[in-house]
A and B are shown apart, each in its own frame.
Chain A
């Protein structure tokens, strides 16, 4: 099955 990462895992907090 497919899983969804958080958008935070792609864009780091400034």
Chain B
């Protein structure tokens, strides 16, 4: 028996909105630790890694490890039926081929349930090695989304370069070039508005705008985003999901032929 209850169903809906551009279908691995998902986009350039801890749920029960393959478009349809303030309860029997989502309104005056068919998906789990990153940038997630959106107009790629002075985002293309520089600004009163850089050594890497733009669909999940970079290693873009876990995106850098 698997059962997970989340008072803020909108959090799960935001997670879904954040990954549905990259993934058509994915397997949710349920265990007593919580719900995990790891999947590559169809071009195998980026990797999505979701971790929702069991103790972040309002109720969590998982008697037997369970892998639920889901079509994310279908799952999106189910969550479209939920109200913004609804509580969601996910339920599946052991070895079941369906999962049930029950939505309850705040006042308990409306209860709806939707049963969705599960899929058997080929699972390919990648081992992500521990990396000592050259730099770790934390910045407001809205600012990151804005910069990626703005610079995407100039070219297909964005160079992110980080030094002790700050972080610079650059793009160039047919119409010209664009550069955005951010200095470190520690705001002790409003931590979420700070830009902080933890630098071991300067690094500059190039990434495809298309993927960076997709990652920023996770902006509603978190005030801050964490970018971890190291030469010849995929970029990690991490959004903390308050009290529940995190959503990470990994993106292979563009390199010279």
Contacts and interface: CB of A to CB of B under 8 A. Distances in A.
Interface residues of B, number: 24
Contacts of B252: 4-7, 9-10
Nearest to B124: A13
Contact of B234 (A1, A3, A10, A12): A10
A10 B125 contact: no
| Interface size range of chain A in the complex | 10 to 19
B256 A13 contact: no
A11 B256 contact: no
Nearest to A3: B257
A2 to B, nearest CB: 4
Contacts of B176: none
A7 B50 CA distance: 17
A1 B126 contact: no
Nearest to A8: B44
Given A1-B257, A13-B124, A14-B127, A7 B250 contact: yes
Contacts of B160: none
B15 to A, nearest CB: 20
Given A10-B233, A11-B47, A4 B254 contact: yes
Nearest to B211: A4
A3 B256 contact: yes
Nearest to B125: A14
A5 to B, nearest CB: 5
A11 B157 CA distance: 22
A13 B126 contact: yes
B254 A11 contact: no
13 contacts: A2-B157, A2-B254, A4-B45, A4-B255, A5-B255, A7-B40, A7-B45, A10-B252, A11-B127, A11-B128, A13-B127, A14-B126, A14-B127
Interface of B: 40, 44-47, 124-129, 157, 206, 208, 233-234, 250-257
